[in-house]
Amino acid sequence: MKADPCLKEAVTSFLHELADVRLASKHTVSAYRRDLSRFTEHCGEERVLKTITRMQVQDWLVHCHASGLAASTLARRLSAVSSFFDAAVHAGWCETNVAAGVRPPKQPKRLPRTLPPEQTQALMHQTDRASDCRDLALLAVMYGCGLRVSEVVGLNLHDIDMHQFELRVFGKGRKERIVPLPQGAIQYLQAYLAERIAPAEEQAVFLNKYSKRLSVRSVQRMLKDRALTTGADISVTPHRLRHSFATHLLAGGVDLRAIQELLGHASLATTERYTHLDITKLTEVYDQTHPRAKKRTG
């Protein structure tokens, strides 16, 4: 690429690097593409990259804010632009990251939404769906191991170690981790694998009716349908199951750093959200049951 690329050329090159070199997921690449295309439209596709200023980044953010976007969306868009300029500096296309130091609006702190244990149990009730054996195995693995939905659909047969009762999981950025398989999940998984039919070259664990790898969207749809059938909470999502896994472990006395390793969080600060959730629930129980709390509220 020429020494002074235009914004469109630089963004295209960055997205190729993100997908082919950094091995980011399709979802991540797609999100970056959407955010950077909006930034490109605002600044002008043919604009020489090194002529873009911090003021223009701020102006773009103000423009986005005026359209009524949530603070979390603005933060994500700014993060995408900042990552792009980091790569541009590294490539020698510009001297500084003009998005660095630009602050997005403050985001309200939101605690992860979880399901109570009885709701996760309800999801495991048997149904008359043709895919019930597969669905039960998938749910048992996803909830029992705290996996992201992209991680569970990305599982291959050679990632399962039935002798050591472990799974090899590839998380964000293809970062590998080993997670233990609970006994209940092993039983459901063995039952499913015994009836799994697929061509030898198809290594995906969880398959659709065409014997191809199951998609993220299919898992999301399956959860909603299953909740309606079993009477479970229809607001269930794959990520709520992951949050529930962490919260239930914490309530059971599992060490926070162990939960961090199981979830594959790069930072302990991300995992610490669950301690706030636990304290919130503890406070609710206190207010409802403790005699001193009753006197205070009375």
Residue closest to 204 by CA, chosen among 137, 145, 158: 158
Tokens of 92: 């020698």
3-state secondary structure of 247: helix
DSSP category for residue 173: G
Residue closest to 127 by CA, chosen among 139, 116, 135: 135
Distance CA(174)–CA(254), nearest Å, equals: 26
> Of these residues, 8, 148, 243, 248, which one is catalytic?
148
> Of these residues, 8, 77, 248, 265, which one is catalytic?
265
Q: Which residues contact 101 (CB under 8 A, 6 or more apart)?
A: 54
Residues in the chain: 298
Distance CA(112)–CA(209), nearest Å, equals: 33
Distance CA(225)–CA(236), nearest Å, equals: 10
Distance CA(284)–CA(161), nearest Å, equals: 41
Distance CA(67)–CA(158), nearest Å, equals: 48
> Of these residues, 134, 213, 242, 243, which one is catalytic?
242
- Tell me, yes or no, if 172 is annotated catalytic: yes
- Tell me, yes or no, if 32 is annotated catalytic: no
Residue with tokens 């790069």: 266
Q: Where are the beta strands (DSSP E) in 136-188?
A: 160-161, 166-170, 176-180
- Tell me, yes or no, if 188 is annotated catalytic: no
> Of these residues, 239, 257, 276, 290, which one is catalytic?
239
> Of these residues, 172, 177, 273, 281, which one is catalytic?
172
- Tell me, yes or no, if 242 is annotated catalytic: yes
Residue closest to 104 by CA, chosen among 84, 86, 77: 77
- Tell me, yes or no, if 148 is annotated catalytic: yes
Supply the residues annotated as catalytic: 148, 172, 239, 242, 265, 274
